[in-house]
A and B are shown apart, each in its own frame.
Chain A
């Protein structure tokens, strides 16, 4: 019979133990895993991006529940082990389940420390450890309101940034005089504080929490000096302590953590322990890099291979988008130590390296952290820096006097240079694996080496390494840069515009290191769209960065004339409108009048100079711009529906008009077309539109992601709703989500394919508060953008567009 292995706890350490075991001794054990959390395994360190909304939970899952079965492991999700019986070699759960082991691994992590003060157990007080905590915070943030975070360390600040991103007014109460004082020196702590305050996060230092107030829900926090802060949510993030109760009850040797030797064995040789619950040579760890290394040792030991855990120097980074900081080693002042400092106020850069006996012992970097890994290597390897002292502070490239180009720089790294801190992967390992396994993408490298698979901050470095190793073969797979002016893709640029609150095109180009001084015809329209979509009313719409059609609100034709398409709401018109159109055609001798494929009328061949006058006449009859030229709402096609048709189930025409009235004027990544059909015969072709509604007896089927242009795409059903009001609400929410996530020129079906229909459904259909928030943001944006651009130009806006600078009778003038 196989030996029985039980693992208690299903966190990051366990994931790595099981993987190592699968690689080294597959099938050797009969494995049972107990996890108190009711879910598979996920990358805990990426909870902060989930909290801030930058990632979905699905994106951070590392081992979904079915992974265990696939590997022959028994997995008890949601079962907490309550006792270990070492004599019987069993573990027991609260519900009476008992299981026997031959080998046992304890990997139950740590517990957040809760202050022993009044009010600590009130509803509305949470800690920050797992997905349930994130969900509790997100639920609280849906009502806006105020949050107080107690603790200005790594976790507290990530929680604060996440809650602020979710729209809460956040205050951080921190005991020490500067933030993250254990990882940062005072100067860097101060820069960090400034950055947090720029994000409207209030930071209160030297704050000693005395009491949490409230009767049946938290209402505030009071300090011992009497100051108090109102709060609807309090997050306690003051530290962790190893989870040792089980081990202590089983009479294993426990200090602060469960005591283990270099082979990760506890005082009982049948029992190993790993992760945040252990104490090794007097030290408890709270970062994944050493924990993954311990887990590897446990896996190898279980496989029967000799392996020993050797502690290594670790570094810290803060995962708040837009805040770059790095610290490693020891930077306390001591007399034998010398510091080398570099500041660049204009660029908000701060860098301090501590040297003792010609060896680097500590480094703090703020604002620019690319050299962090190099300093960490110098610390770990105790490299003599005597020869490069003068240039040490400028980073690796300067110090080694190497080439300035990043590819050459990464190429010049030694093989044992660490690339991925979380997983302890060095350059040589990546390069060897890439060559041996013929890897060609970042995903491959993550799968085979784990590099960049955890916190992700070394992704850029890994990509550089891939392209240095593969040359041009890699280029093709990189994120598609927006254009030649940058290496950033559309997703990066959007994310950074939000995170760094960039509000103008020059600000984006400055902050994101654009290579050209003024951008190009590809990136400028895209950036302009991202800015106005992100900051409606705040960012200025730069008309010089718009394509001519959107600048003059008409479609340019091959001969330089324009076409004019007025809106016909839902395809309806009337005698007065038709008469006004006929009059305009006569008055301006417009050569062509055509019924479009979008159920309205196109006037083709209008001279640019005539446009304002044509619009003035149309406006007078109540006709406004149809945005036939816009990355925005084009048409809402309808059929006659229940008002006339013998098969009609609902008023499809009326709904189409309402939808068009709600949605017109909003700018979108690419054009948006809607269709509303009165029954499944679908005469309005709703199922090949970006958003389609098919009326049925019981209500409205809402469809998404159709197109019938360069590609013909049938829509997918989003959901069914019962009322017209819901149909409009869901349409607004969907279009807002697309406005916030779509890449410029990415049509709705491409966006839906990229992000996945399931995630769209989860946000629009399953999550009513999120849907309401999307609608609110859409409506806010409409207060800025729902204006008839024709009327504005009739009134004189941008008059220069429609008049020549000068008209010269050439022959006369030449004389």
Chain B
């Protein structure tokens, strides 16, 4: 999946996502959670906690991490890795932020094994 050229698809504007919050982008097979941090960083992860599938988009966002709402695993937004004593990894996706704040999801980066 590494060398794929980006396939950008417009999903909204940064201001549609509250700071320290997340919104989801619904695809037919999975949900992608797009996070916005306090400092304005934008990150995208599959909306499934590696523990028991909790919806990460509903967690509390702090620094560059989110705490899962179901059992409090803390997931690093940049890497998708569970932090601390827990281990597991969420698949990440790539979102481009345009100069005007427009968000575009790179479909080629999506955590899907096959696109067809």
B28 close to A (CB within 8 Å): yes
Q: With A521-B67, A548-B59, A810-B29 given, is the CB distance from A804 to B116 under 8 Å?
A: no
Residues of B within 8 A of A808 (CB): 9, 11, 25-27, 105, 107
A544 close to B (CB within 8 Å): yes
CA separation between A558 and B105, bound complex, in Å? 28
Shortest Cβ gap from A544 to chain B (Å): 4
CA separation between A789 and B25, bound complex, in Å? 26
CA separation between A547 and B23, bound complex, in Å? 15
Q: With A544-B18, A556-B69, A810-B107 given, is the CB distance from A521 to B25 under 8 Å?
A: no
CA separation between A516 and B62, bound complex, in Å? 9
A335 close to B (CB within 8 Å): no
CA separation between A544 and B69, bound complex, in Å? 13
Contact yes or no, A813 B9, CB < 8 A? yes
Residues of B within 8 A of A556 (CB): 55, 58, 69-70
* Nearest CB in chain A to that of B28: its residue: A810
Contact yes or no, A544 B25, CB < 8 A? no
Q: Mark B1-33, 1 if CB is under 8 A from A, else 0.
A: 000000101011000111111011111110100
B61 close to A (CB within 8 Å): yes
B85 close to A (CB within 8 Å): no
CA separation between A804 and B34, bound complex, in Å? 10
CB contact between B74 and one of A517, A521, A805, A813 (< 8 Å): that residue? A521
A560 close to B (CB within 8 Å): yes
Tell me which of A545, A546, A804, A809 has the highest count of chain B C-beta atoms within 10 A of its own C-beta: A804
770-812 of chain A: CB within 8 A of chain B: 800, 804-811
A525 close to B (CB within 8 Å): yes
A427 close to B (CB within 8 Å): no
Contact yes or no, A814 B7, CB < 8 A? yes
Contact yes or no, A558 B70, CB < 8 A? yes
348-369 of chain A: CB within 8 A of chain B: none
Contact yes or no, A544 B61, CB < 8 A? yes
CB contact between A814 and one of B11, B19, B72, B115 (< 8 Å): that residue? B115
B82 close to A (CB within 8 Å): no
Residues of B within 8 A of A26 (CB): none
CB contact between B25 and one of A560, A806, A811 (< 8 Å): that residue? A806
B60 close to A (CB within 8 Å): yes
Q: How large is the interface on B (under 10, 10 to 19, 20 to 34, 35 or more residues)?
A: 35 or more
B90 close to A (CB within 8 Å): no
Residues of A within 8 A of B11 (CB): 805-806, 808
Contact yes or no, A805 B115, CB < 8 A? no
B63 close to A (CB within 8 Å): yes
* Nearest CB in chain A to that of B64: its residue: A518
Residues of B within 8 A of A811 (CB): 28, 115-116
Shortest Cβ gap from A799 to chain B (Å): 11
Contact yes or no, A805 B25, CB < 8 A? yes
CA separation between A546 and B21, bound complex, in Å? 11
* Nearest CB in chain A to that of B47: its residue: A560
CA separation between A546 and B61, bound complex, in Å? 10
A93 close to B (CB within 8 Å): no
* Nearest CB in chain A to that of B7: its residue: A814
CB contact between A547 and one of B53, B69, B107, B110 (< 8 Å): that residue? B69
A605 close to B (CB within 8 Å): no
CA separation between A544 and B61, bound complex, in Å? 8
CA separation between A811 and B110, bound complex, in Å? 12
Shortest Cβ gap from B6 to chain A (Å): 12
Q: With A560-B55, A813-B107 given, is the CB distance from A804 to B24 under 8 Å?
A: yes
* Nearest CB in chain A to that of B23: its residue: A805
A519 close to B (CB within 8 Å): yes
Q: With A517-B63, A808-B26, A813-B107 given, is the CB distance from A548 to B38 under 8 Å?
A: no
* Nearest CB in chain A to that of B68: its residue: A521
718-754 of chain A: CB within 8 A of chain B: none
59-90 of chain B: CB within 8 A of chain A: 59-63, 67, 69-70, 72, 74
Residues of A within 8 A of B115 (CB): 810-811, 814
Shortest Cβ gap from B98 to chain A (Å): 15
Residues of A within 8 A of B12 (CB): 805-806
Residues of B within 8 A of A517 (CB): 38-39, 63
Q: Mark A538-560, 1 if CB is under 8 A from B, else 0.
A: 00000111111001100010101
Shortest Cβ gap from B57 to chain A (Å): 9
Residues of B within 8 A of A548 (CB): 58-59, 69
Q: List 30 A-B contacts (CB under 8 A).
A: A517-B63, A518-B38, A518-B62, A518-B63, A520-B62, A520-B67, A521-B59, A521-B72, A524-B60, A544-B21, A545-B20, A556-B70, A560-B54, A560-B55, A560-B58, A804-B24, A804-B25, A804-B31, A805-B12, A805-B24, A806-B11, A808-B26, A808-B107, A810-B110, A810-B112, A810-B115, A813-B7, A813-B107, A814-B7, A814-B115
Binding site for A on B (CB under 8 A): 7, 9, 11-12, 16-21, 23-29, 31, 34, 37-39, 52-55, 58-63, 67, 69-70, 72, 74, 105, 107-108, 110, 112, 115-116
User: Knowing that A547-B69, A560-B54, A805-B24 are A-B contacts, what are 18 other residue pairs whose CB atoms are under 8 Å apart, sorted by A's residue number?
Assistant: A518-B63, A521-B59, A525-B60, A545-B20, A547-B60, A552-B58, A556-B69, A558-B70, A560-B53, A560-B58, A800-B18, A804-B23, A804-B31, A805-B16, A805-B23, A805-B25, A806-B25, A810-B28
The 7 A-B residue pairs with the shortest CB-CB distance, nearest first, are: A805-B23, A521-B67, A544-B20, A806-B11, A548-B58, A521-B60, A810-B27
